[in-house]
Structure 1
Amino acid sequence: MVQQPWLSLPEKSGVYIFKDKKGRILYIGKATNLRRRVSSYGQKFQSVDHILVESEFEALLLEASLIKKHQPKYNTRLKDDKSPLYIKITKETFPRVFPARKVEGRFGPYPQAKTARLVLKFLRRIFPYRSCRRLPKRACLYFDLKLCPGVCLNQTEEDKKAYLKTISRLKSLLSRKSRVVIKDLKKEMEQAVKNEDFEKAKEQRDKIKQIDWLIQKRHLADEYLENPYLLQNIRQKELQEIQSLLKISTPLVRIEGFDISNIFGTKGTGGMVVFLNGEPEKSLYRRFKIETKKTPDDVAMMKEAVSRRLKHQEWEFPDLILVDGGKGQVSGVLEELKNLGLKIPVLGLAKRIEEVVWRMENREWRIEKLKEDSPALNLLKRIRDESHRFAHSYHLKLRKIV
C-alpha cells in the first residue's frame, strides 16, 4: 500500500480516481484542490490517479462522464438522466427561474441535471433571481445570501423595472448573447463613475468579470477523456507561443508578474506573483509596501517593487517578467535590470487595450495586439489579473478595508 499517495497530487482543480490492488476503479470524485480533498479520505484506498482541468465547471462535467463510463462501485449512480433538464423562466409579474423537465418557454436542454443546476448557481451569483413557487410574506434565506432581490418585500414599479431588467439579462446570457449584457453593464459602470457612484461602478465591474469568467472557452469532458494531459498540453502551447513572440530560445519555466495598487499615491503596494510552467505557485508570491513614493507615480512604484525583488538573490530569478502597463513600466524595469547587470525579458500588458509591449535586442520597441483567442494572451492575462488581485488585496488590507 502506498503511504500518503496524496502528497504527490497538485493543489489544483481536477478529478481523482481511486483504485484497488487490481487496478479496478472504486470511486471517482472532483475537487478544486486535489491534494486537500484526497488527503481527507486518509488511507482507505490502494492507489489514486488524477486528471487536471481548468475549472470547477470542467471538473464537474468530467466527473459525470467518467462515472457514466466506468460506473464505480462506490459512486452513487446518476439518477436524473431520465430526460434532459431545462431552465424555465415564468411569465409572472416577478418571474421565477428554476430547473424543469419538458416545459414550454425554456432554455436548454442540458444533457445532465448537474450541468443545468451549476449554470443557474453561477448565474444567480451575478444576477439574483426569485426561485420560490409562491411569494412568501417575509424574506427567505436566499435574500439574506444575496441570491434573491427579495421581490416579496420590494414590489414598487421601480423594483419591478429593475427585476425585469435582471430577467432580461439572464435570458440574454442563456441565449448566448453575453456580449450584449457586458456592453450594457459597461455603459452603466461608466455612467456610475461620472456620477461618482463608485459603489455601483464596482458592482457592475464585478458582474462583468463574473460573466467573462463564465463564458470563457472551456474544454469538453470528452477532450479530457481522450487526453488526460490536456491541461499540461495547453500550458505548454501557451508558453511556446510567448517564446516564439519574443524570439527567445530559453524555456519559460518561471514567469513573475508585477502590479501596483494605490489611492492617489498613498498606501502604495506592489504585488509579485509567480507562475511555474504556466500555473500559479502561491507559496512563492511576495508583496511590497511602497516606501519611496507618496504621490501618484506607477512607473516609479513599479521600479521600486521590482528592484527590491531583484535584490533577493536567494530567490530564483525568472525567465520572464510581466508588468501591468506599457512602455513606461517596461523601461523602468529594464533600467533596474541593467543596474544589476541582469538580462531578463520584460513584457508589458495594459489593461484596457490588451496590447503587449516589449523592447527588442536592437532596442526598438514592439507593440502587438494579439488575437482574443491567442494562447499566449490567455496566459499573460491570467498572470496580469492575478498580480492585480494580489497587489490590490494587500492595498485594501493596508487601508483596513478588509
Structure 2
Amino acid sequence: MANPASYRPKTGEIPTNPGVYRFRDPHGRVIYVGKAKSLRSRLNSYFANPAGLLPKTYAMVHAASSVEWTVVGSELESLQLEYTWIKEFKPRFNVVFRDDKTYPYLAVTLSEKYPRVQVMRGDKRKGTRYFGPYTAGAIRETMDTLLRVFPVRSCSAGVFKRAEASGRPCLLGYIDKCSAPCVGRISPEDHRALADDFCAFMGGEAKRFINKLEKKMAAAVSRLDYEQAARIRDDITALRKVFERNAVVLAEETDADVFALHEDELEAAVQVFHVRGGRIRGQRGWVVEKVEDFTTPDLVEHLLQQVYGEDGDTHGRLPREVLVPVVPSNVDELAQWLGGIRGAKVDIRVPQRGDKAALMSTVRENAEHALKLHKTRRAGDLTVRSLALQELQEALDLPVPLLRIECFDISHVQGTNVVASMVVVEDGLPKKSDYRKFSITGPAAVDDTAAMHDVLTRRFRHYLQDKSAQVDEDVLEAGTAEAAAEAAADAAAAAAVADTTTPAPKGKFAYPPNLVVVDGGKPQVNAAARALTDLGIDDVYVVGLAKRLEEVWLPDSDFPVILPRTSQGLYLLQRIRDEAHRFAISFHRQKRGKAMTVSALDGVPGLGASKRKALLSHFGSVKSVKAATAEELAQAKGIGPALAGAIVSHFAADGPGAVTVPAVNMTTGEIIET
C-alpha cells in the first residue's frame, strides 16, 4: 500500500485550468478518472488530509502510485474526455451504476435482410431497435401476442437457414405467427414493412393500427365475410390487450425518462421510469457505491453521463425530456452533450408540480425500497466473500490480501487437442473480461505438467513484456518532461503543455495475480512454480487443488493443506476450479468439433476449405452440390470450369451404389450437411 505523500505533485506544478486527471496503480493500470474546474484545487484535496477521506477514497489514494492530468479548454470538453476515459480504462474505483436486476428488451434487428423480433438483454448492438426494458414474464406475453398481428420472423439464424434449405417453414409459420420469409411466402420488402409496423406500434402508434383494423372489420362485415371479420376482431382484441397493459400516466405526446434516487453516506439507489407516448414502457434500477464525497447533483451528472453515453446508435431512445430530482452539475454542458447524441434538443429539468411531479414521487419511493433490498442482500454476500478471502489467506499463510486470483486448467482427450483455460476472480467475484484460452501444441502437449508449465510461462512472459514496455514508456516520458523543463523559458510555456501523460499499456496480461490456483496436485503445482521461478517472478504465490480429496497443495511440500469441509475459503477455491474446468471443457469441445467434422466434399482434388464453404453457401447442402451440373457449379464463387468438372467426376465415380459419408459433427453426432 503506497503512501500518498510519495507521489504527491508539488502544488505549483498543478495548473488551475479545467481538466481531467487519472490515478494509476504500481502496475500502470488506471484505477480512477475524474474531472475538475480547477485541477490544482481538486488534486490538493486528495493529499491535504488523507485520513479525513471517505473509506473508498482513502483506499484509492493508497492503492495508487502516481497521478496524471490533462488540461482541456472548457468544462464541456472535460465532460466528454472523462466519459471517454472511463469507458476505455474501466477504472475500478470510479462510480459505476450497476443494474440491480438484468432487464430484458424487446428488440428488432433492422440491420438484417429479414428483421427478427427477439428478447435481448443489454442494448449495445448497432442497427437494432429496442423497446423496454420489461420484466421477463411481461415481455414474453407481449411478444407472443403481437406476433399474431405482426407475424415478423422470430427464429434464430440456424433455424432460418434450415427452413430455407429444406423449403419447409418452422412451426410458427404453420400456425400463422410468422410470415415465413424463409420459404418465400412474403417478399423482403413486405417483411420489412411488417417489421416497421411492429416498431411503430411499440413506439406508441397503437391507436392508428387499431383504427385501421376496425375499418377492415367493418368492410368484412359489409361483404358478409364473417370469418375474416372474426379474425380481425381477435387481432384488435390482442392489440388492445398490449396497448392497455400500461396505464396512461401523462399526456399522450409525452416522451420522458423520470429519474429519482435515494442515498445514504456510502451508497445510492437510482430508479428510472421510461415514459413513451404518455405510458410507462419500462423501469430500470441501479445501485452505486460512492467513491468521493459526491453531492446529489454530481451523482445525477454521472448517472446521465453513463446511461446515455452509448445511445448514439439506438434509434432515438434518448427522449425529449429528462426529469431529474435535482439539477445536475454542469447542466448546460450536459444538455448540450445529450442534444448532440439525440440530434435534437434535450430538456433536463426538475418537475415542480402536476402529474410529472407525482410520478417522480412514485419513482423515488421505488428507489427507497431498492436501496433497502440491496443492503439486505449485499450484507450477506459481502460477508461471505470477505470471510472466504480472509480464511484462504490465513490458511495458506500469505502476507498479501488476495485481491486477484487466477486459476488454470488443462483439458484434452488422450493427449489430443490439448487446451488450457485461465479464469480470473477479483475481490471474490469473477471477472470474465479477463478470461483467456490457450491452445497447446508440440512438446508441451505431452502431459499435464508440461502443458501447465507452458501455459504459466506464456501467461507471465506476456506480463513481463507488458511491464517492460510500461517501464520504457515511463523512462521516455520522464526524459521528455525533463527536456521540456530545461527548454522552457518561463512558467507560461510549461502551462501550455496540454497533456503530460502517455496512454496506459493495453496488454492483455498487464495486471498480475496475488495467487495462482492450478487444477491438480503436487506435480502440477511444482510445474507452475518452476515456470514462475524460471521467469524470475517471486511475488506471485501458487497452490493446487486436487480433485480426489480436495487437498490444497503448496510448491515443494510433501503434505497438503487440509481445509475444513465447511470452510468458505475451500468453497471459493472449488468454485474457481470448477469455473476454470467448465471454461476449458467448452473450448476443448469447440476445437475438437471443428477438427473432427467430416464432409463428402473433402476428397475432391483442388477443393479447399474456402471453396467448399462457397459451394455450400451457394447450393445450401452437399446433396444439391452432387445434383448440380458443371455449368451450375461454375456459377458459385471461386469455382472455375476445370474445378467444376473435377467435382462432377468425383461424385460420378462414386456410382449409384456407392456409400457417401455425410457431414457429421463427431462431438455431438449431429449431421450438419444433408
TM range, smaller chain: 0.3 to 0.5
Which one has the largest radius of gyration?
A: 2
TM-score (norm 1): 0.47
